[in-house]
Amino acid sequence: MWLKYHSQSSGAGGNLNIKQQIDEGALKHEQTIREAVECAGVGLHSGAPVKLRILPAPPGSGIVFRRVDLEGFEVEAVSRNVARVSYATSLMKKGVLISTTEHLLSACIGTGIDNAIVELDNLELPILDGSAQPFVQLIHQAGIRKQRRPRTYLRIRQALELREGNKFIAVYPADHYSVSYTINFPHPLIGKEAFRLELANGEYLREVAPARTFGSREDEQTLRNMGLIRGASRENCVVLTKDGVENPPLRFADEFVRHKVLDLIGDLALLGKQILGNVVADRAGHAMHTALVSRLLRDQTLWEETTLEDEPTPVAVHVRAMAGQMA
């Protein structure tokens, strides 16, 4: 079947200049881009052509999608606007749809972008190469500007665990943001894979952003009959056959689980803030990712808002240590 698309790379993102982005000051303050950048492509599921621009935004704006084909109607990238979470995460406000948002939102978290306007002239973001790396490259092309407003984090105070059959997702208190993901697919090339990521030390750009979405040739027609993957091709996803990969090479040996990490980070961006906590997922997907977001936001006893200036010593020490690793 066409599995949920995932993305990884063989280190293709390692040449990005991340040392200047990961420092204590950048982690303490909100950031936006310096100038507008744009790209064009097709939607993964709709197959529709789309042009996209990312523009700077004022402090406190968050990530806001703007449909320029619908008189500039805006849809904020927050949990209350989540609409569909099957093979992609889509947002809807007053009937206006923004589809397949997770890769761009993941890139924003990975590069430390808090505020941006994302303009598009169709209902679905372009899939580009199937990973978050093209969006990361756009952001670095635009440049990153630190803003004066302190960045507010959601610091996890109590554990939250969700289960659905053999699927599991949870978040636990921690002094920094980390993600651990395990998958188990029956395909002989995948099987059981696990990956852990620290968000504060630059690993995202090197180890996750290039990971591509993937799907199975065997299930292609079924999904196309459902109106899905009309824009999928060998250029924007890893295509699995019964025995292997139709369009090698993989960017990573475990590219599949790395893309799941990419998707999870993008979906958790719908909290509206980065978290200080450890997220653990096992065979979860978009629906469970966004369910975790919804449950967290509904129960304010599970977290507290904080800035790094407010944090106790362990967090400040960790931030300085991560900044030192990038020097």
Active-site annotation, residues: 286
3-state DSSP of the chain: CCCCCCCECCCHHHHCCCCCCCCHHHHHEEEEECCCEEEEEEECCCCCEEEEEEEECCCCCCEEEEEHHHCCEEEECCHHHEEEECCCEEEEECCEEEECCHHHHHHHHHHCCCCEEEEECCCECECCCCCCHHHHHHHHHHCEEEEEEECCEEEECCCEEEEECCEEEEEEECCCCEEEEEEEECCCCCEEEEEEEECCCCHHHHHHCCECCEEEHHHHHHHHHCCCCCCCCCCCCEEECCCCECCCCCCCCCHHHHHHHHHHHHHHHHHCCCEEEEEEEECCCHHHHHHHHHHHHHCHHHEEEECHHHCCHHHHHHHHHHHHHHC
